[in-house]
């Protein structure tokens, strides 16, 4: 007889209950997952929830979790909901705390006075972060908390803490280049950055400023160290050395930074687990070796604990020098847990250490969860922890009876496995955020990581020790030799055929499904962890779903792009496209074609232009790009959509129009053409009305009333 569905469901629930109970010691590891889910829920909303919602939901959910624990019913569900509520509330609180005035329009050149809080060297010039005290005629209550100004060569190099005066052109932080693209405006909001711009004159120092806060003093120390490193090692070598020691990466030339990314060596340029672990290890063994040189101390002290304490202090200093970034905070917390375990004679549990590090960072800065640094850092470490937890016994057995030659082989194999696991774990986030996948990262890391650990990092530590005595060049020069070798490896690997694969961005929900599968696979120990492979596969399949927009319009209606028959994007003007075109082509994983013809047709015949307008024909639709009011009047009612930098002011009601007012109000547009309908999505549609989105007056009813929204099937 067939088994009744109710019985099958009961068996399934019993199996699930037994599996969960068998992994009770892993339940804690899911706490940061649910906390992050609550944070993610907040940031996916398109309307700002009231603050009372999070402040009320969090304590209520926690109280229900305590009741559930007391009654021993639905404990896991209650704890999961309470963690989500706490994450949601923490994100709301951080958003309210970060609120600060933002420049509403372009200003300048205007006189700017204020105090420098950060100074970042660039390949050409310097970029400073300023807390302004005066910006032109802006009222004090309209002054942004911070502004960022780019200085040209020869304009001086002010240090953090100095008061300055300069004439600068300032602009509001830019919005995303298209729906779904990187949202710098949101990042600027949480950094309390209210304007960006560039200097148009020399910088003058203002005397008589108050003593700076400790963060500013720390930034001044980092800036001075960076300057001295680059003085000893000019060019690319010094920029990479500064990135390794002080975390300043902006001075690295773009060609070199891209080579490191395409070779899978970008982690060497970012202070994270690799660097923190190496610094802690070098400091630990150096201190213990130093104590062993003195028999009186070695016989009376627990040198292992003293070395652990000293290494903890060294890594904390390194955390401060790194700029206290998300990746360095995570690495420090995990490293500190290992060293503290040595101090109290306890075994360190890596998975719990990772969970604690995640909880600390999420509660400290919930917004960090949305960034690639947090996601890739924790994905890599979670993958490595899960891998070595599973295969630790086999690996240890291989080391026990191995000779010297075999041990070296096993070390090389360890580098390979570590690279493969971390690459697999971070690939979905790499593709989602950067649309690039390094093919030869394993080969590059086998060559570069040993040089970094055995040569570059020891010299970096020695350079920091010698710097107070002005003798840092003694260590920086040999450090530079190793950096040059690593840079040549990066460029050499990227010169191989097909070194980096460009992929389109998967949908956000696809990344979430894939991440859930990865978390399931990493956090559980039983065989049921393999169930996580199904959502991982489903997440990767979503790469096949998105169809690139057929038409793109920038936020000023000045640059447009259309898809040619071969899939490439043709930009309306190569001179002004810049970042917008780079973002459009990268996210769609297509090439950039030639600029629009001034007259005549494109090679594939999809685009035809004259002095006043261009017509684009695709998928049975016609889109007009009108440059003059006369062309707008002529095309009204004769095409399916009109895009124009001319203010239409509702003059055409027969055809949907996207004009300069629409892009000013709603940001960039992405348009999909289809035989059934035209789908139009703006940056404002995608982001909604959130605190980091500039307020604009309500749109005119006639602007896009005839254009149905939604994605084309």
Rounded Cα gap, residues 528 and 206, in angstroms: 65
Q: How many angstroms separate the Cα of 550 from the Cα of each of 64, 205, 678? A: 50, 51, 10
User: Mean pLDDT in the chain?
Assistant: 87
Whether residue 376 contacts residue 352, with contact meaning beta carbons closer than 8 Å, is answered with no
Structural tokens at position 180:
């779904």
Helix (H, G, I), strand (E, B), or coil: what is residue 674?
A: coil
| Omega before 109 within 30 of 0, i.e. cis | yes
Q: How confident is the model at residue 354 (pLDDT cuts 50, 70, 90)?
A: confident
Rounded to the nearest 10 degrees, what angle do helices 254-262 and 235-246 cross at?
60
Rounded Cα gap, residues 440 and 425, in angstroms: 16
Helix (H, G, I), strand (E, B), or coil: what is residue 292?
A: helix
pLDDT at 707: 39
pLDDT at 296: 80
% of the chain at pLDDT higher than 90:
46
Structural tokens at position 531:
């169930």
Residue 294's contacts (CB-CB under 8 Å, 6 or more residues apart) are none
pLDDT at 210: 59
Q: Which of 72-81, 156-165, 486-495 is predicted most confidently?
A: 486-495
Rounded Cα gap, residues 352 and 341, in angstroms: 12
pLDDT at 1: 44
Q: How confident is the model at residue 394 (pLDDT cuts 50, 70, 90)?
A: confident
Structural tokens at position 451:
């040089």
> 200, 114, 126, 112: which is closest to 156 by C-alpha?
126
pTM for the full predicted model: 0.88
Kindly report, residue by residue over 90-140, the tens digit of the pLDDT. 999 999 999 999 998 899 799 999 999 988 888 888 899 999 999 998 998
Kindly report, residue by residue over 15-47, the tens digit of the pLDDT. 878 888 888 889 899 999 999 999 999 999 999
Residue range 675-704: mean pLDDT, rounded: 81
Q: How confident is the model at residue 643 (pLDDT cuts 50, 70, 90)?
A: very high
pLDDT at 321: 87
Structure-token match 């402040």, residue found: 55
pLDDT at 336: 84
Q: How confident is the model at residue 345 (pLDDT cuts 50, 70, 90)?
A: low
Cα Rg of the chain, angstroms = 28
Rounded Cα gap, residues 663 and 408, in angstroms: 60
Check pLDDT > 80 for residue 8. no
Whether residue 290 contacts residue 345, with contact meaning beta carbons closer than 8 Å, is answered with no
Kindly report, residue by residue over 221-241, the tens digit of the pLDDT. 898 999 999 999 999 999 999
Rounded Cα gap, residues 278 and 280, in angstroms: 5
Check pLDDT > 60 for residue 169. yes
pLDDT at 225: 92
Angle at 506 between CA 682 and CA 374, to 5 degrees: 95
Kindly report, residue by residue over 557-597, the tens digit of the pLDDT. 889 999 999 989 999 876 555 788 889 999 999 888 888 98
Structure-token match 């530590």, residue found: 461
Integer distance in angstroms from the first to the last C-alpha of the chain? 44
Q: Which of 447-456, 479-488, 651-660 is predicted most confidently?
A: 479-488
pLDDT at 712: 38
Check pLDDT > 70 for residue 151. yes
Structural tokens at position 690:
């959130």
Q: How confident is the model at residue 710 (pLDDT cuts 50, 70, 90)?
A: very low
Rounded Cα gap, residues 669 and 369, in angstroms: 27
> 554, 555, 595, 547: which is closest to 571 by C-alpha?
595
Kindly report, residue by residue over 261-312, the tens digit of the pLDDT. 999 898 899 887 778 888 888 888 889 888 888 888 777 778 888 888 999 9
Rounded Cα gap, residues 625 and 615, in angstroms: 6
pLDDT at 587: 92
> 379, 369, 693, 335: which is closest to 519 by C-alpha?
379
Kindly report, residue by residue over 483-540, the tens digit of the pLDDT. 999 999 999 999 999 888 889 989 999 999 999 999 999 999 888 899 999 999 999 9
Rounded Cα gap, residues 82 and 319, in angstroms: 32
Residue 212's contacts (CB-CB under 8 Å, 6 or more residues apart) are 115, 117, 160, 161, 220
pLDDT at 212: 67
> 558, 553, 561: which is closest to 591 by C-alpha?
561
Check pLDDT > 80 for residue 617. yes
pLDDT at 652: 82
């Amino acid at each position: 007889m067939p088994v009744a569905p109710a019985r099958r469901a009961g068996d399934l629930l019993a199996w699930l209950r037994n599996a969960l109970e068998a992994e009770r010691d892993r339940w804690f590891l899911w706490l940061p997952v649910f906390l992050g889910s609550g944070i993610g829920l907040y940031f996916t909303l398109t309307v700002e929830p009231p603050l009372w919602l999070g402040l009320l939901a969090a304590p209520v959910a926690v109280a229900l979790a305590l009741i559930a624990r007391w009654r021993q019913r639905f404990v896991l569900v209650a704890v999961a909901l309470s963690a989500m509520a706490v994450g949601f509330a923490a994100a709301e609180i951080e958003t309210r705390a970060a609120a600060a005035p933002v420049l509403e329009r372009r200003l300048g050149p205007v006189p700017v006075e204020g105090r420098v809080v950060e100074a970042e060297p660039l390949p050409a010039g310097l970029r400073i972060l300023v807390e302004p005290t005066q910006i032109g005629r802006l009222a004090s209550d309209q002054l942004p908390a911070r502004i960022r100004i780019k200085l040209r060569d020869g304009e001086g190099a002010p240090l953090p803490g100095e008061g300055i005066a300069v004439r600068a052109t300032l602009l509001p932080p830019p919005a995303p280049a298209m729906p779904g693209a990187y949202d710098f405006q949101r990042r600027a909001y949480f950094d309390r950055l209210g304007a960006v711009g560039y200097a148009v004159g020399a910088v003058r120092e203002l005397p008589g400023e108050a003593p700076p806060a400790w963060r500013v003093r720390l930034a001044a120390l980092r800036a001075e160290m960076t300057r001295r490193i680059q003085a000893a090692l000019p060019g690319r070598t010094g920029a990479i050395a500064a990135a390794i020691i002080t975390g300043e990466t902006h001075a690295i030339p773009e060609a070199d930074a891209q080579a490191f990314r395409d070779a899978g060596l970008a982690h060497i340029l970012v202070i994270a687990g690799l660097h923190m672990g190496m610094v802690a290890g070098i400091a630990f063994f150096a201190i213990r070796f130093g104590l062993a040189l003195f028999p009186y101390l070695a016989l009376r002290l627990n040198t292992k604990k003293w070395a652990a304490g000293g290494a903890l202090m060294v890594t904390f200093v390194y955390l401060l020098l790194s700029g206290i970034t998300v990746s360095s905070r995570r690495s420090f917390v995990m490293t500190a847990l290992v060293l503290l375990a040595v101090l109290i004679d306890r075994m360190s549990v890596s998975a719990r250490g990772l969970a604690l590090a995640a909880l600390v960072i999420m509660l400290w800065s919930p917004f960090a969860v949305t960034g690639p640094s947090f996601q890739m850092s924790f994905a890599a470490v979670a993958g490595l922890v899960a891998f070595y937890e599973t295969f630790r016994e086999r690996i240890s057995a291989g080391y026990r009876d191995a000779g010297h030659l075999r041990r070296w082989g096993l070390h090389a194999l360890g580098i390979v496995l570590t690279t493969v696991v971390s690459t697999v774990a971070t690939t979905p986030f790499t593709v989602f955020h950067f649309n690039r996948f390094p093919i030869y990262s394993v080969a590059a890391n086998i060559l570069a990581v040993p040089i970094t650990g055995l040569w570059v990092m020891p010299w970096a530590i020695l350079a920091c020790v010698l710097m107070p005595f002005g003798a840092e060049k003694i260590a920086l020069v040999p450090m530079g030799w190793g950096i040059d070798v690593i840079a040549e490896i990066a460029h050499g690997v990227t010169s191989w055929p097909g070194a980096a694969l460009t992929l389109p961005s998967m949908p956000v929900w696809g990344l979430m499904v894939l991440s859930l599968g990865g978390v399931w696979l990493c956090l559980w120990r039983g065989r049921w962890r393999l169930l996580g492979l199904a959502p991982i596969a489903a997440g990767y399949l979503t790469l096949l779903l998105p169809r690139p927009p057929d038409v793109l319009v920038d936020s000023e209606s000045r640059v447009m792009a259309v898809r040619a028959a071969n899939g490439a994007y043709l930009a309306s003007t190569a001179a002004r496209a810049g970042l917008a075109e780079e973002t459009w082509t990268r996210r769609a994983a297509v090439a950039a074609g030639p600029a629009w013809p001034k007259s005549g047709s494109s090679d594939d015949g999809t685009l035809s232009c004259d002095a006043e307008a261009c017509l684009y024909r695709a998928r049975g639709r016609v889109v007009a790009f009108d440059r003059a009011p006369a062309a707008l009047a002529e095309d009204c009612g004769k095409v399916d959509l009109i895009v124009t930098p001319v203010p239409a002011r509702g003059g055409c009601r027969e055809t949907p129009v996207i004009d300069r007012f629409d892009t000013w109000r709603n940001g960039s547009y992405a348009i999909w053409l289809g035989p059934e309908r035209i789908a139009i999505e703006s940056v404002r549609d995608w982001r909604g009305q959130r605190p980091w989105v500039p307020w604009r007056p309500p749109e005119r009813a006639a602007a896009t009333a005839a254009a149905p929204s939604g994605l084309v099937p």
